């Protein structure tokens, strides 16, 4: 009996899905949803086009899975923001985690940015749900720190917008960063300098 066709979680299926998702992230990042073609993603994955439809049904479903994975990864580092934590080190660690993600997987950030830019037609539900819930919870923690006099009064929700913007700009708009800095490629040293800058701006902004 052919096990694979009856086992939706089998190892072949799993491996091929990962392969396709990685290729899709790259192609969607470079070309956007409409600019990306199933043919280009198939080529990047080294598989025939029909296989993408076999695993993901259609283009939008593939796109949605790329986005959902990114959102999940982004929510994880918020875990360090707890009432007991030290505000200064908790915020610094969160900002550094986001900067590291921008440097390590810029394509994931770009696909997400593109989706938001066009009104989140596919990810709308998750943004209204999981993301909003998490931010409200963590903003409450920050409000607690402020009430306890542990940091300057800032708008805690807008603080997240500022942190996301300041960190993700290095992934989303890296052409602009490279053009202005006059670099053809950002080195580890450039990323270090950028991270230190953002951390110190945000911490001073929070009076920390």
Partner DNA sequence: GTCTATAAGTTGATAGAC
Partner DNA sequence: GTCTATCAACTTATAGAC
52 vs 199, beta carbon nearer a second copy: 199
Which of 43, 51, 75, 186 touches DNA (CB under 7 A)?
Answer: 51
Q: Is 150 in the site for DNA (CB under 7 A)?
A: no
Instruction: Compute how many residues bind a second copy; rule: CB under 8 A.
Output: 56
Give the x/- contact pattern for a second copy in 87-116, rule: CB under 8 A. Answer: -----------------------x--xx-x
Secondary structure string (H, E, C) spanning the chain: CCCHHHCCCCHHHHHHHHHHHHHHHHHHHHHHHHHCCHHHHHHHHCCCHHHHHHHHCCHHHHHHHHHHHHHHHHHHHHHHCCCCCCHHHHHHHHHHHHHHHHHHCHHHHHHHHHHHHCCCCCCHHHHHHHHHHHHHHHHHHHHHHHHCCCCCCCCHHHHHHHHHHHHHHHHHCHHHHHHHHCCCCCCHHHHHHHHHHHHHHHHHHCCC
72 vs 158, beta carbon nearer a second copy: 158
**Least distance in angstroms from the C-beta of 69 to a second copy:** 18
Which of 32, 38, 105, 126 touches DNA (CB under 7 A)?
Answer: 38
Binding partner of residue 192 among a second copy, DNA, none, CB cut-off 5 to 8 Å per kind: none
List of residues contacting a second copy (CB under 8 A): 30-35, 110, 113-114, 116-120, 124, 127-128, 131-132, 135-136, 152, 154-155, 157-162, 164-166, 168-170, 172-173, 175-177, 179-182, 193-194, 197-198, 200-202, 204-207
């Amino acid at each position: 009996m052919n096990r694979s066709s009856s086992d939706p979680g089998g190892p072949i299926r799993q491996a091929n899905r990962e392969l396709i998702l990685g290729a899709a992230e790259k192609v969607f990042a470079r070309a956007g949803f409409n600019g990306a073609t199933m043919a280009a993603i198939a080529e990047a994955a080294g598989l025939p086009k029909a296989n993408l439809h076999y695993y993901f049904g259609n283009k939008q479903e593939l796109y949605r899975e790329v986005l959902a994975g990114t959102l999940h990864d982004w929510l994880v580092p918020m875990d360090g923001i707890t009432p007991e934590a030290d505000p200064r080190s908790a915020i610094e660690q969160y900002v550094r985690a986001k900067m590291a993600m921008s440097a390590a997987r810029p394509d994931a950030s770009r696909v997400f940015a593109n989706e938001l830019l066009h009104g989140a037609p596919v990810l709308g539900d998750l943004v209204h749900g999981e993301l909003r819930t998490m931010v409200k919870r963590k903003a409450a923690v920050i409000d607690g720190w402020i009430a306890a006099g542990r940091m300057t009064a800032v708008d805690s929700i807008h603080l997240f917008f500022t942190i996301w913007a300041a960190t993700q700009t290095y992934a989303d708009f890296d052409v602009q960063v490279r053009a202005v800095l006059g670099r053809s490629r950002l080195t580890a040293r450039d990323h270090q300098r950028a991270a230190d800058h953002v951390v110190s701006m945000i911490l001073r902004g929070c009076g920390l």
